[in-house]
Amino acid sequence: MACCAVLTLALALAHPSVRAQDPSGCEDLSAIPETPGRVFERDIQPLLDNCLGCHGGQGGLSLAPDQAYEALVGVASNARPDLLRVDPGDPAQSVLFRAINCNVPEGPSFRMPGLSGPDEQALIRDWIRQGAGDFIQRDRFEQP
């Protein structure tokens, strides 16, 4: 039993826990219920269009409509190479979510502006939590 405790402590010291690296000043969005069926093309890209003044394609992270999805999902962050910009299924480990929801996201040292508040932050949370899907399924009938 003591052997397991020592091994656990050694592993924790060798690989610092994510909790120790969590950003500070994050908003608690738990009161906002999850919205199902979030997809990038319809729900997320329009929110990111507000970010194009700084992330419009002139170097660095481009959130332009034809580049944003590929630049975000499953791509290692430049600021935090140990984390993905968007880690499908895990908003807390996604640099994008940290950058829009926390004051110190281990990158620019301030919360990214552009979103109008917690409801839009929650949409991004939901999209990431639901697997960071890209496009609306066009092969099924959807009533207008």
- Residue 83: pLDDT band (50, 70, 90) is very high
pLDDT category at 58 given cuts 50, 70, 90 is: low
Q: What is the pLDDT of residue 32?
A: 95
| Angstrom distance (rounded) from CA 39 to CA 78 | 25
Distance of CA 93 to the CA centre of its chain: 7
- How much is the pTM? 0.76
Q: Is 94 helix (H, G, I), strand (E, B) or coil?
A: strand
39: nearest Cα among 130, 100, 118: 130
The mean pLDDT value for 45-58 works out to: 86
- Say how far apart CA 40 and CA 130 lie, in whole Å: 11
Q: Which of 50, 18, 20, 74 is nearest to 123 (CA)?
A: 50
Which range among 21-30, 49-58, 75-84 has the greatest average pLDDT? Answer: 75-84
- Residue 88 predicted with pLDDT over 90: yes
Q: Helix or strand or coil: residue 9?
A: helix
The better pLDDT of the pair 103, 64 is held by: 64
pLDDT single digits (tens) 60-82 = 789 999 999 999 999 999 888 99
Using CA atoms, how far apart are residues 124 and 127, in angstroms rounded to an integer?
5
Please give the mean pLDDT across all residues of the chain: 78
Gap between the Cα atoms of 62 and 78, Å rounded = 13
Q: Is the pLDDT of residue 94 over 90?
A: yes
